[in-house]
Amino acid sequence: MTSFAKSLLAMSVALPLAISASVNAKPLPQSAVMEVEFELPKIETSMYARPYVAVWIEDANRKPVRTVQLWVGKDEWLKDLRSWWRKVGRYDRELVDAVTSATRPAGEYRFVWNGLDDNGNRVEQGAYTFYAEVVREHGGRNYLRQKLELGEAGFTHVLTPTEETGEIKLRYRVQ
């Protein structure tokens, strides 16, 4: 069998499986939300600058589906959020403009992801990853991630504090 024939055979098997998986995929329940409790610790230093923060969700294929929070002072600093910038920021100027807000001082913050992607569509149930990237001028850089299985059942994950973040709590609820 030629390599071309082998490729066609592989495609004829893989394509129906991929189509079947996407047809059978269920969206997240309408009531599903993920609450995020996010802490920026008070850091005593003579050159403290508020950190730049990006929080986003990726699917099982490592494709970004939603930028949940983006805190930066000026556009020129977006590139300092290296991981987020490479995945999302440099490709979608409209999204950057839509989600960017000012940097925040040390404190506790709460926000909610409603299960929608950046285009406003409800995501499918399945495997996702939560990411938080925190970078501070004259300070540290922390990159956190947590695997998630989003479906019909709720859960809570607590991410360990780092140099630039306090405790981060993820609470997925389906009412």
Place of tokens 């490709």: 91
pLDDT of residue 91: 65
Q: Which domains does the chain have, with CATH numbers?
A: 26-173 (2.60.40.4070)
The terminus-to-terminus CA distance of the chain in angstroms comes to 54
Distances (CA, A) of 46 to 139, 162, 172: 11, 20, 38
Q: What pLDDT, in 10s, does the model give residues 159-175?
A: 999 999 999 999 999 98
Q: What pLDDT, in 10s, does the model give residues 38-94?
A: 999 988 888 778 888 889 999 999 999 999 998 887 767 777 887 887 877 766 666
Amino acid letter, residue 109: Y
8 A C-beta contact, residue 154 and residue 171: yes
pLDDT of residue 57: 95
